[in-house]
Structure 1
């Protein structure tokens, strides 16, 4: 959930403050102390601009300008070809990058398995839906120029969301057929109007695998046309750069004066572009122009043109001198002003970085002495304040921790496990004596449940015990809801010997039973235990009524919505025990079901 904060700024009225002689003398005395950091800004700029003045005049003495019309023309030809090569390399690199990105999806075995599997029931493809809705948006977040990623599938048993997964028939026929004909190779298309706000380039390729007889889908990536425009916009100074397709259709150009959608409507040069690469002269509207072009690997062409009068614009010797000297002076001045600004603001930036560390809760500061001016005094005072705040936080934390531990010990001391077990045993014996076998079974399940959940006051149990706990809990609930609870277990028993904090599964099983059953047929609940990337995953999946995004958000923010152990409560306990990378993740869709994933470390826990 994003939170927006709006800050209102009033207009600041200028305030005139008369100088105070005593205050001025004090400031001056502070500036006297220290080295360069305490010098007045006037002196700093004096020395810097002195260098700036000496440098251009020194270069002017050794500078000489001599060139001819042919030399300038030849240099311009070389520059244009160099620009063409650079643009070609940049465009090829960007297209290759997205090709490699599509290859990563093409080679994704898990994605291939999800897309090519048959789904008999809706909740079976919940994992596939969750995987795709996590994978594709993450790629778009990492690549801001991706307008969309879509997989067109011919698997009619797979649920489509009209965003990331669609059916094959929804892809326009020309592009669909080209992608299928390419047999896994990449093909490209582009928007007809390159000036449109949503103009984009589409990369498409069919998805297939050697063990499958037919392609199982087509992958498309919509790339913002600004991706190509950014590669050529800086090269439009006195020349024009165009990227066109095989028919002359404009894909991108820095020349915003072009109103036609085809380059050949502006420049009748179709025959001259017949070769793969080349250069030529042409007279357009009475003006002689120079053209150079190159063909990309996908058949598109990069065309650069420049009028001849631009090639000869630097023949005036005096103008060339002024331009060069001015450029050098500006560059030198800019560089030195930048260095000056950095020197002046460096200490402020260091102090700001330390303030941001404190803002994030990190009080391990490393502020070195910064002199005795106002910034130096401020850094010293801030460092001292941070130490005091850290000390206060530590004191409060220790007190709260001791208080909570005392409350927990008091609560557990009130529970007498032996009295509870003996009482349940007496009830069980009485039930057998009276022939009340359902009561006998329920009491036995209840005794086993509390034996694990209490666990002599310890919070760490074996995963096998946690699984047995929910088995006993479900057995009790099955008596309450006969023929409605359909449990399925997919457990890696090699992980039974690992440890976990207790009561992390039962709250979610209880939520399925109390809130997810929507008809007399009951509910299917799948409990999974598996190893994933060095961690242990516990999953609870149901095909109940599911939750909307708003309901899920409310559930994640509450602490008392599940049998006293809310979702946030379970998540907080896991993060407190193992760290922030572990915890609870939920995914739900109304009418399909809910999936809960609990991640804990593989390493054994200790009862700390």
Structure 2
């Protein structure tokens, strides 16, 4: 049914639907696989992180307990303490003072130890307190346990001080290290906060951790009210492996429980503790849900991209076919020829379009040939017309008029006609593009002669031309338009004006200048007006600049400096050529 519906659609619609469906299906599979893989990686990373973290915590606890055990050994080998406590000649109060002095000199780390208590066999208790906290007298049951225990260290139950701070009791027999004579019992109160600081920053924010003893007593916890509590259902945290994790329901919610045994090195200190981390699975799933949202957002964006790409791809496929169809229609109806080749893939559509283009190219060539024949015909007609006006005929006629004026003693007419004849002779110059600087000066002189007859006493002109450049080649009619502009727009309204023409060579360039002291003009207005009215003299100026740039390059051309009522300077820069 779906295929039947597709066949009723045009080619582009079929391509778009097929491409969009394919891309969306592929994207869905890819994104769903990425989601499952990312969840797997998160869980794996979490378990690896917990294992590494718990190993680091174990090392930290081991280092702290080793320091405390080392302190106990230092106290045991201190003969001064042993001799002081055995001295019958010193009363109890004096012994307390002297013992405090000795312990002050022992460099005890108060960050992890809250108090040291020594209970002698004659039941005298000596307390060394750091934080002004008071403890109850050591429990007799714990003292008896230490006395009967054959292990080096005996761990007592958690106790609390007057400020409700928790402490772990580290107990051992106090003997003379060298003689093994028993003096009593040594108890070191370890701060629970010191244990908590070791692992506090290492637990993920969506979980918590704690330490339990072999007797299932919580000896360190973030919730201080739980420190010292006994865990009744110990099956949660029993493990025979160095590290174990599993998912279960704990405290009313599904959680991941990770348990690790502390380093075996602590067994010599009779320390069989477990470190437990509880991770909320619901919170972890919330993080994974965020990933799902990102996946959905990416999927949505990919769908949009899929649609855009499908439209683009379908246009690339259908475009040449549609273009060819329109070309055929236009050629059949309006005889419009379009030889552009849109498709360059080399496929079947390209072959079809190429054949069509070859056909219309042949037709276009025939039309072009026909147009060229007509153009040649017009040129021949123009040449024939121009031939009727022979330049020599024009020169000879003007010369004849000049001689007649001379015979009639019409000096002004003679001068005018001869100047005009010379002007035409140089400007036409057999159709050549280049003339010498000297010929260009003669052209200007002829033009100035005519203008002085038209406007007598209106201006004078001065030529300062370096003799070394007189035979340099320049483009024909380079100076004359600027001299004409100076007369027509700069000096005609003044009583008397002056024009100076300079010419010199600068390195490999030729510099020509036309300077007048006329009324000046706005150069922007000149050229904008020239665009509107090509009969205006500005067009001739612009034409000179364009011809120079076309002939010599962009760094050559015309530069005009002019200000109102201050005159004008035109500088023409050309490449120096010598005939």
TM-score range, shorter chain: 0.3 to 0.5
Which one has a bigger Cα radius of gyration? 2
TM score, norm. by length of structure 2: 0.40
